[in-house]
């Protein structure tokens, strides 16, 4: 097995073993604290442009299957693990993580001190880095500039679907238009489970084209990158909110709604990525353990609380985890109620969305 190296923007270098495809890849280095769900992490479009370090020390023990991917391919720029299992055991296993990474040409590294790497990112904040395999050593001055200059750009455009697609159910309760900013398949599955006929639209679909469909509600999905980069999408969502059609935003969708309302977003030091984030519902005075994956958050002081209330907060750092409009049928959450594997405590938010759509159809407020 060839050697591989991870170099951070601060100059620190980790030596390990190559996994996946050989080569060189630059990205933003982040960490995920999930003990399971590495397949979902690899295939989550929200990781576009990032090199992901898994903090759990053993990855790949149940392999990769054909059912659990959140999309058809991995989106990250690299994968970092302490130890990669090469002999997975599971009745659904179709291939190993190593084979999966090779097939999709994703560069990876194992055998480094992921605990130390995570502490570095927690102390200094997420930073850019490069993974390269022995034989692909970069030129010193050139790679230093490239790491420093790297920025995730055009993220939503890169991951959104190319055309609309319908996901029907028998005897639907509601018809939902879903704007795809980097959709996880389980959002569609969750909406279907609660009786929603779903039509997925590309991220830059115009508001008029969506409203022309006469949908009962609009779902805004998760996605990658800086939410403030999506100026056109924010303008579209502002129009959708004004229409009076119920809107439910998740993760990036939550941030886009906040920007559409006049609030601002900012980058977190190292983000929330994993299945163990405690979130408090302020109205219900109840705490949930949630699945999350984001590096930006809504700035609480920027929220106009005469129009929008903060409905949820993160109990680790008090960041905004949910918004609810006071005069419009619109609500959002920063976390993932559809997250699998992970806590299912907040799946009821989809049922709440269905109830809001049915109430709006009856002309109630």
Is-contact 152 28, C-beta < 8 A? yes
Contacts made by residues 330-333, CB under 8 angstroms, sequence distance 24+: 330/241, 330/246, 330/247, 330/248, 330/249, 330/257, 331/247, 331/248, 331/249, 331/356, 332/220, 332/248, 332/249, 332/250, 332/253, 332/254, 332/257, 332/258, 333/249, 333/250, 333/251, 333/254
Which of 70, 196, 338, 340 is catalytic? The answer is 338
What tokens does 13 get? 């270098």
53 as an active site residue: the answer is: no
Which of 196, 251, 272, 340 is catalytic? The answer is 251
User: Any residues with CB less than 8 A from the CB of 240 and at least 6 apart, and which?
Assistant: 207, 210, 211, 218, 247
137 as an active site residue: the answer is: no
Which of 53, 294, 336, 340 is catalytic? The answer is 336
Residue indicated by tokens 């759509």: 357
User: Any residues with CB less than 8 A from the CB of 216 and at least 6 apart, and which?
Assistant: 174, 175, 176, 245, 246, 357, 358, 360, 361
Q: How far is CA 71 from CA 56, 91, 134, 210, 253, in A?
A: 23, 21, 31, 23, 18
In angstroms, how far apart are the furthest CA atoms of the chain? 66
**33: buried, middle or exposed (CB in 10 Å: 19+, 13-18, 0-12)?**
middle
340 as an active site residue: the answer is: no
Instruction: Return the active site residues.
Output: 251, 336, 338
């Amino acid at each position: 097995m060839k050697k591989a190296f991870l170099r951070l923007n601060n100059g620190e270098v980790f030596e390990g073993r190559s996994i996946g495809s050989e080569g060189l890849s630059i990205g933003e280095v982040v960490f995920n604290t999930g003990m399971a769900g590495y397949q979902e992490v690899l295939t989550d479009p929200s990781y576009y442009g990032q090199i992901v370090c898994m903090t759990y020390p053993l990855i790949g023990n149940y392999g990769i299957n054909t059912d659990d991917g959140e999309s058809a391919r991995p989106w990250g720029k690299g994968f970092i693990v302490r130890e990669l299992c090469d002999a997975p055991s599971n009745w659904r296993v179709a291939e190993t993580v190593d084979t999966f990474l090779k097939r999709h040409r994703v560069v990876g590294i194992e055998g480094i001190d992921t605990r130390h790497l995570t502490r570095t990112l927690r102390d200094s904040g997420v930073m850019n880095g490069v993974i390269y395999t022995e034989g692909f050593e970069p030129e010193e001055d050139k790679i230093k500039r490239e790491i420093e200059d790297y920025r995730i750009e055009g993220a939503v455009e890169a991951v959104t679907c190319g055309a609309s697609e319908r996901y029907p159910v028998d005897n639907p309760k509601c018809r939902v238009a879903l704007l795809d900013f980097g959709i996880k398949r389980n959002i569609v599955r969750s909406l279907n489970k609660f009786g929603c006929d779903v039509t997925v639209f590309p991220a830059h679909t115009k508001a008029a084209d969506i409203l022309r469909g006469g949908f009962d509600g609009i779902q805004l999905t998760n996605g990658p990158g800086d939410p403030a980069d999506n100026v056109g999408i924010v303008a579209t969502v502002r129009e959708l909110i004004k229409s009076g059609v119920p809107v439910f935003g998740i993760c990036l969708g939550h941030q886009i709604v906040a920007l559409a309302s006049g609030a601002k977003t900012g980058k977190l030091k190292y983000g929330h990525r994993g299945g163990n984030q405690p979130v408090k519902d302020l109205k219900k005075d109840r705490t949930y353990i949630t699945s999350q994956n984001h590096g930006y958050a809504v700035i609480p002081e920027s929220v106009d609380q005469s129009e929008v209330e903060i409905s949820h907060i993160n109990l680790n750092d008090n960041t905004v985890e949910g918004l609810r409009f006071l005069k419009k049928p619109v609500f959002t959450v920063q976390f993932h109620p559809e997250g699998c594997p992970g806590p299912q405590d907040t799946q009821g938010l989809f049922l709440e969305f269905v109830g809001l759509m049915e109430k709006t159809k009856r002309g109630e407020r």
